[in-house]
């Protein structure tokens, strides 16, 4: 009986001791391609993101179909011909960051994020600089970096080569409320 009680206590403790990650359902993910021929902008405000400040790990997941373009036709071509979202419905990132963040103190903390991006069924290792900011009871994470379509096995036909930038700018912005 004693053993059992201890077991239960230990189990309960281990459950509560594990750190609680912060999670949000409306993170922002945008990508931008600017050429003299065409200005493409796609934004997704329904990104699920989580960060664990103890383990220094973070993860993102988003539906590829939820990227909104200014032109309906672009959105259709993106989903049908490039991202093939019927076959690869989700894009995700999992990784960790290095750098110290003090949640008790307001300020900006530059960090290095590294991990794996999965898009169009291809997984790629990336390391990008990011900023974690503590302000007004909020933790905001932002990152700007560039990706190459070719790295994710996305082929761009020569006909539209001039309309799509070689490097695609990616913007990430996530707000988490912190409860002290």
Partner 1 sequence: MQKFYIFISFLLFGSCIKAQDSSLAQLVNDSSINENSIVKGTFKATQIVNMPTIESPAKGGLQFMIMHRFGRLNEGAYELWGLDNATIRFALDYGISDRLSIGIGRSSHDKTYDGSFKWKALQQKEQGMPFSASLYGLIAYSTLKYSDKPYLNGTFRTSYLTQALLARKFSRNLSLQLAPSWMHFNLVPTEEDNNNVFAIGFGGRMKVSKRVSINAEYNYVPDGQIVTNDITNSLSFGMDIETGGHVFQLVFSNSQGMVGPAYLAKTTGKWGDGDIYFGFNITRAFTLKR
Chain contacts with partner 1 (rule: CB under 8 A)? 1, 4, 7-8, 11-12, 14-15, 18, 21, 23, 25, 46, 48-52, 55, 57-63, 65-66, 70-73, 76-77, 79-81, 84, 86-87, 89-90, 92, 94, 157, 159-160, 163
Q: Are 49 and 27 contacting, i.e. CB atoms less than 8 angstroms apart?
A: yes
Minimum distance between the CB of residue 114 and partner 1, rounded to whole angstroms? 15
Give the residue with the Cβ less far from partner 1, 88 or 145.
88
Under a CB-based contact definition with an 8 Å cutoff, are residues 117 and 88 in contact? no
Looking at the DSSP bridge assignments, the partners of residue 61 are: 48, 92
CB of 163 to partner 1, least distance (A): 7
Residues 6+ apart with CB under 8 A from 12: none
- Specify the residue, 108 or 112, whose C-beta has the smaller distance to partner 1: 112
Shortest approach of partner 1 to residue 121 CB, angstroms?
14
Cβ(46)–Cβ(61) under 8 Å?
no
- The secondary structure of residue 148, as a DSSP letter, is -
Distance in Å, CB of 144 to partner 1, minimum: 21
In the complex with partner 1, which residue's Cβ is closer, 107 or 150? 150
Which segments within 15-167 are labelled E, that is strand? 22-34, 39-52, 57-63, 68-69, 90-98, 107-119, 122-135, 138-147
Q: Which is nearer to partner 1, 52 or 169 (CB)?
A: 52
* CB nearer to partner 1: pick between 23 and 108: 23
């Amino acid at each position: 009986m004693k053993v059992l009680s201890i077991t239960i206590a230990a189990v309960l403790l281990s459950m509560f001791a594990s750190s609680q990650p912060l999670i949000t359902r409306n993170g922002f993910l945008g990508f931008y391609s600017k050429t003299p021929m065409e200005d493409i902008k796609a934004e997704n405000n329904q990104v699920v993101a989580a960060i664990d400040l103890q383990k220094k790990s973070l993860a993102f997941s988003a539906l590829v179909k939820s990227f909104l373009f200014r032109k309906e036709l672009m959105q259709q071509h993106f989903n049908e011909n490039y991202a093939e979202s019927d076959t690869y419905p989700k894009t995700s990132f999992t990784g960790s960051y290095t750098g110290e963040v003090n949640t008790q103190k307001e300020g900006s903390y530059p960090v290095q994020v590294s991990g794996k991006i999965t898009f169009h069924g291809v997984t790629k290792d990336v390391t990008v600089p990011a900023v974690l900011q503590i302000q007004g009871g909020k933790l905001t994470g932002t990152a700007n970096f560039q990706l190459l379509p070719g790295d994710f096995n996305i082929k761009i036909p020569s006909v539209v080569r001039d309309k799509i930038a070689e490097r695609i700018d990616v913007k990430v912005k996530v707000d988490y409320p912190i409860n002290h």
